[in-house]
Structure 1
């Protein structure tokens, strides 16, 4: 008699009596990870992406895979998360890769470089171009597996204690500027300061810095910069589409089942989309409220933009000469940017320019 038919006819008692037992699926052991964020908990958009990710992992795993999320400074310094993941102190982290350009300038391209890609172009390069595969190879040097996990969209150019009228006003300006943009700011006369989000307000209020940037109206309003100065400049030439990233320790990731690896990918992608949706939804209301409180908007002077663009291109050429990692990825990045911009000039720019002129 076939084994399956026998089992069906014999019933449980008969099976046990014969000593023949059907295979029983073993329960997978519960998984508990820790995620170190580089951001303060008060920023529900950028910090919140990690909370969304953790919630989705728990949901999709039926509660068997839980990740606790810890704000910057709780487990390690905000700028210490790469070391934490690399060394296995924590299993994963959520951060802005350009914070770590001091380790290798190439980190910055996984987030934003001056006059780089906008958020849609960044998605296209990572998900359908070579971006993800190139960075997966790069991060092997750091025992890290990377996943895109959030984007703010184009950012504001910051808050200035004094009005910025020309390139001359950048000379000697002490500005908190995130990551790689500071290298270009320095070349046009500014003095970049690398300060975590939770410490910026005090530095601006005390006059330790002359200017700061963070993200845009929704976050900036929460951080209270408008209480110190009303000069709000746009756009951030250094952050056209900055991408946030989930770093996972490679050993921890490889120890997961195929199912849990897929859950990590799906959950991070969900959080990636949600973050920008939140910014695009919440920034309009916040900018209205800031203007109502006396904030004045000013477009970044063209001579500053032009000088920064020239300095950025010179910097990228120099890095391509001395940093093999940078050259390999930037070559592909720049080619993708060129083709993407040729296309965006045809439709996106034409449509957006007309729609914005209507001032609906």
Structure 2
């Protein structure tokens, strides 16, 4: 074993020899890096207003990450709803090539095909961890992209809200009959369930919800949860804040990219896009988890009334949801294939979560109520 002096001599000699050897690895010159990263300029349209730093901010996270990873050569400009296209038309703009990319909710386009909804959320579907397990490890990304390809787009997860609140109501929902005649802003496939319960679903962009509630054009509205809902001021125009959002045990957003623009990217740029989307995906959920606790306290102190849906209401909604799924599966093979792929994960994970996850969380929640944590 060489002593300290020998080791130093060895290191010095080796470094000097490497410097003079013809096989030494050369330093990479900055022009070579630039040449390998061609300049690409994209426009990304968001479906979410700038005032919501969490959900709109995921698009900014995506753009910033691509710029940093490419040495400033992959440039993405993020546009708010209405700056280029209406927020609810973001996917259409990507499909027809008007823009290169969009940050949106897949379920906004369920009217084209109900299969779109599954990538975001369906009533009584997967929770956040289950959705990620299915998407990232269970083939969900590939399964959805096989479907999206028909619309000239490719999609990658780009954020999540976790389990949402059940929305703001100008009147109480105490029994299943209270849904009848209720005009409610609600996104995705949940609207079909509300209709089956006798309600009147409305699909309205986030920035238009407040004035609709204020004017009484609608009786209720759901958005996300305390942090965003507080920013949008819903407690000023509706009193009752119900939970949980049974139609969104989680809500996954996506970056949609025009297929031609995607195929034109170098492979390492495609890898950057995937990485940037994942950064945005994780970042949104962690930000909500950090901000929602303080927001719900402020909302309650401000006079709003958080209330749980009754067991009877949830049972009726669960039954109606399954009826809607059966009806769609009977006539839509794509929906049936993708939806059934999620059911196995839901059943198995809820079996598993009842053991370690549920018992741990339940115990710690009891300690929280005692004021010990």
1:319 matched to 2:338? The reply is no
1:198 matched to 2:198? The reply is no
- How much does 1:79 deviate? 1.3
- How much does 1:29 deviate? 3.2
Structure 2 counterpart of 1:124, from 133, 154, 157: 133
Question: Separation in 2 of the partners of 1:29 and 1:116?
Answer: 42
Structure 2 counterpart of 1:335, from 344, 350, 353: 344
1:241 matched to 2:261? The reply is no
Question: Separation in 1 of the partners of 2:208 and 2:225?
Answer: 17
- How much does 1:336 deviate? 1.7
1:224 matched to 2:221? The reply is no
Q: Is the 8 A contact 2:174 2:313 kept in 1?
A: no
Partner residue, 1:112: 121
- Report SS of the residue matched to 1:316: helix
Deviation string, structure 1 residues 83-137 (Cα, Å, up to 9, x no partner): 1111111110000111111000000000000000001110000011021111111
1:33 matched to 2:33? The reply is no
Q: Is the 8 A contact 1:167 1:301 kept in 2?
A: no
Question: Separation in 1 of the partners of 2:324 and 2:237?
Answer: 33
Correspondence list, 1:174-189, <5 A? 174-189=183-198
- How much does 1:139 deviate? 0.9
- How much does 1:64 deviate? 0.5
Q: Which residues of structure 1 form unaligned runs of 5+?
A: 1-7, 9-23
Question: Separation in 1 of the partners of 2:327 and 2:347?
Answer: 19
Q: Is the 8 A contact 1:130 1:332 kept in 2?
A: no
Partner residue, 2:3: none
Correspondence list, 1:134-213, <5 A? 134-213=143-222
1:57 matched to 2:56? The reply is no
- CA-atom RMSD in angstroms: 1.4
- Report SS of the residue matched to 1:66: strand
Partner residue, 1:309: 318
Question: Separation in 1 of the partners of 2:312 and 2:197?
Answer: 11
Q: Is the 8 A contact 1:153 1:240 kept in 2?
A: yes
Partner residue, 1:270: 279
> TM-score by structure 2 length?
0.89
- How much does 1:230 deviate? 2.3
- How much does 1:44 deviate? 0.5
Question: Separation in 2 of the partners of 1:179 and 1:136?
Answer: 19
> TM-score by structure 1 length?
0.92
Partner residue, 2:8: none
Q: Is the 8 A contact 2:220 2:238 kept in 1?
A: no
- How much does 1:55 deviate? 0.4
Q: Is the 8 A contact 1:105 1:326 kept in 2?
A: yes
